Amino acid sequence: MSLPSEEVFMSEQRLLLGNEAIGYGILVGGCTTITSYPGTPASEILASVATLKRKQNLDIHVEWSINEKVAFETALANSYAGRRSAVAMKQVGLNVAMDPLMSAAYTGVKGGMVVVVADDPGPHSSQTEQDTRFFAQAAKVPVFDPVSPRDCFSLIQKALDVSEAFEIPVIFRPTTRVSHARQDVWVPEEICVEQKPASFEKEPTRWAATPKFRFLLHRALNEKLEKIAEKEELQPELLDPNQNEEGKVCILGSGVVLTYAWEILNELELLPEVPIYRTLMPYPLKRSFLDSLLQKYERILVLEETYPVIEYQLRNLDRVFGRLSGNVPYEGELLPETVEDIIRNFLQLPSRERVQADEAPPRRPTLCPGCPHRASFYALRKVFKKGIYPGDIGCYTLGLNLNAVDTVLCMGAAISQAAGFYHAFKGNITKEKPDIVATIGDSTFFHSGIPALINAVAEDARFVLLVLDNSTTAMTGNQPTPETGKRASGELSGKKISILKLVEACGVEFVREADPYDVKDFIEILKEAKSFVQEPGGGIAVIIAKHPCLMDKEYQSQFKRLKVRITDRCKSCHYCIDNFECPALVDVPGEDRVTIDYSTCSGCGVCVSVCPRKAIVIDG
């Protein structure tokens, strides 16, 4: 665990996030095309690459693609052309990019290609806690599992070398605790990205293979995997080279949990007795290495997040402690205290007494003060009092709190589910048909809403769709959408893609654009939409609720703050708090009226339209 010797060649030590270290590693590793779709915990990877491109004037292509599939395929073509590439996404993003990944494993690459997929055990900000190493096995591609930010920087370069040497895309899988940890990393002050000339050699039996050749490619893929598993420098190693391999028991695993294990054993003064083997590449593992461990040690504890990937490869249930033996939880993050409990159990040590710290009272997550989505949801609930509200992935999922979101499945599902609910209730002759009102953000609409909308129109579905257009990808750090005409590194592309025109092109006949801050007008448009959906010749009605996100720095400079005040007309009825939920509207015990917390109030003024007693006014 000492500093790497790269220090000799590097000129600058920087305190980097794991994701920033990945960004540096990608560039030092020679990638000339880097693509991504934002998603926690992966969003800072492309952002850091884009910043380095801008600051160091690098001749590379960096893009926020509209979804992970597009990002993957764009990067892959660069690797087909012999240049190195990287694509970054969160773990559920790989579900979207799985189609090209499965095929790319067969076709392989010419220039190295690394697929960075950040996993979210916990999960902290995802729909699932799926393990990307499992997906690597499904696709039959190698996967690397870094333990720290410093490791991210060096290991990703190794991953690129393996990819290029074996002409296979490789996965690089950090977890949230690695992506968002900070550590000093030695990096070059000036990055020089090797510019190999692009050259595409036509080889139809590979790049456009028919099923007969796919069979041969599959065989070649299996052979590659065997050779990669044998590679000496990719073999599991002791996490701490000062440990010896003498004990009767050992720990085998991958990722950040091994660093917790090291600290726990160090504290217990058991490092000499319990060697920790770290697999740089948890798949594919060399069979003879696993057999040698099974021969050498009486018992092996496997620590890995989140599925039993290494354990399945060990194929031994008798002497292996892990998930399959019931000693490691099947779900949830392996936090240091969980790992300590597992290790104590494994080593038959008494469990540790823990003093329960007082926990802060839980606070429900809520939309920001002044968020235009709150105004949209408020209007939606005013017009559609009863209904089914399919929602989608983004900060507007918090419409849940306003009873305006009933389902959240995956990116783009709001629209397909709205259509599905329509078809489910269409033939329902005994009961009243519910209003169906779907909500989707602008970035999510570009990501995967468009095919769903085309399908819904083609299948004659009827529902109201609100595209919550705040001109940014707000939840992941305000990345640009195709509507803004901005590129990842900040320059203007000049090409702005209009959501309104896209919706029209999907065949939707009722399309309106409106500002949800104008609550009264917005409600009227929703009423029109409701009538259109119900009338004989009606169909899908789309309203583009357009107002910029208040977190957007550019918009902040133009935003005109209003000074609102609660007057003595307020009867403390709580209507505004219960139905609008702006965190700046607070009920102070002992006060005879609701109070505005000016430290959080954004000055949007929307609450003025919400109070039925006209008790909120704008000053000046």
Give the phi and the psi of residue 129 in degrees, each rounded to 5: -115, 45
In the complex with ligand SF4, the residue whose CB is nearer, 213 or 575, is: 575
Contact flag: residue 519 with ligand SF4 (CB under 6 A): no
Nearest approach, Cβ of 519 to ligand SF4 (angstroms)? 10
Nearest approach, Cβ of 552 to ligand SF4 (angstroms)? 16
Contact flag: residue 527 with ligand SF4 (CB under 6 A): no
- Interacting positions 338-397 with ligand SF4 (CB under 6 A): 369-370
Question: Which stretch, 28-36, 210-218, 279-287, 571-579, contacts ligand SF4 (CB under 6 A)?
Answer: 571-579
Q: How far is residue 54's CA from residue 125's CA, in Å, rounded to a whole number?
A: 29
Among 13, 266, 428, 572, binds ligand SF4 (CB under 6 A): 572
Among 54, 575, 581, 617, binds ligand SF4 (CB under 6 A): 575
Question: Which stretch, 159-167, 216-224, 476-484, 576-584, contacts ligand SF4 (CB under 6 A)?
Answer: 576-584
Q: What is the DSSP string of 537-551?
A: T---EEEEEE---TT
Among 263, 573, 581, 617, binds ligand SF4 (CB under 6 A): 573
**Tokens in use for 378?**
């408020």
Beginning with the edge strand found earlier in the chain, give each strand of the sheet holding 237-238 in spatial order: 237-238, 276-278, 249-253, 299-303, 320-321
Q: How far is residue 476's CA from residue 511's CA, in Å, rounded to a whole number?
A: 28
Secondary structure in 3-state letters for 170-196: EEECCEHHHHCCEEEEEECCCCCCCCC
Name which of 98, 109, 45 is nearest 67 in CA terms: 98
Give the DSSP H/E element, type plus range, for residue 37.
Answer: none
Q: Directed axis angle between helix 450-458 and helix 413-426, to 10°?
A: 20
Nearest approach, Cβ of 374 to ligand SF4 (angstroms)? 8
CA distances from 552 to 183, 472, 548 (A): 29, 8, 7
Q: What is the separation, in whole angstroms, between the first and last Cα of the chain? A: 63
**Tokens in use for 398?**
């918090």
In the complex with ligand SF4, the residue whose CB is nearer, 352 or 569, is: 569
Contact flag: residue 141 with ligand SF4 (CB under 6 A): no
Nearest approach, Cβ of 379 to ligand SF4 (angstroms)? 13
Among 429, 606, 609, 617, binds ligand SF4 (CB under 6 A): 606
**Tokens in use for 469?**
């257009």
In the complex with ligand SF4, the residue whose CB is nearer, 315 or 614, is: 614
Question: Which stretch, 136-144, 406-414, 539-547, 562-570, contacts ligand SF4 (CB under 6 A)?
Answer: 562-570
In the complex with ligand SF4, the residue whose CB is nearer, 460 or 597, is: 597
| Count of residues near ligand SF4 by CB under 6 A | 28
Among 497, 574, 588, 591, binds ligand SF4 (CB under 6 A): 574
Give the phi and the psi of residue 52 in degrees, each rounded to 5: -65, -35
Contact flag: residue 607 with ligand SF4 (CB under 6 A): yes
Contact flag: residue 616 with ligand SF4 (CB under 6 A): yes
Contact flag: residue 399 with ligand SF4 (CB under 6 A): no
Contact flag: residue 502 with ligand SF4 (CB under 6 A): no
Give the DSSP H/E element, type plus range, for residue 224.
Answer: helix 211-230
**Tokens in use for 575?**
């209507």
Contact flag: residue 555 with ligand SF4 (CB under 6 A): no
Contact flag: residue 611 with ligand SF4 (CB under 6 A): yes
Q: What is the DSSP string of 562-580?
A: -EEEE-TT-----HHHHHH
Contact flag: residue 324 with ligand SF4 (CB under 6 A): no
Q: How far is residue 373's CA from residue 439's CA, in Å, rounded to a whole number?
A: 10
Contact flag: residue 401 with ligand SF4 (CB under 6 A): no
Contact flag: residue 604 with ligand SF4 (CB under 6 A): yes
Q: How far is residue 81's CA from residue 201's CA, in Å, rounded to a whole number?
A: 8
CB atoms near residue 200 (< 10 Å): 11
Nearest approach, Cβ of 619 to ligand SF4 (angstroms)? 11
Give the footprint of ligand SF4 on this chain (CB under 6 A).
369-370, 564, 566, 570-576, 582, 584-585, 593-594, 596, 601-607, 611, 613, 615-616
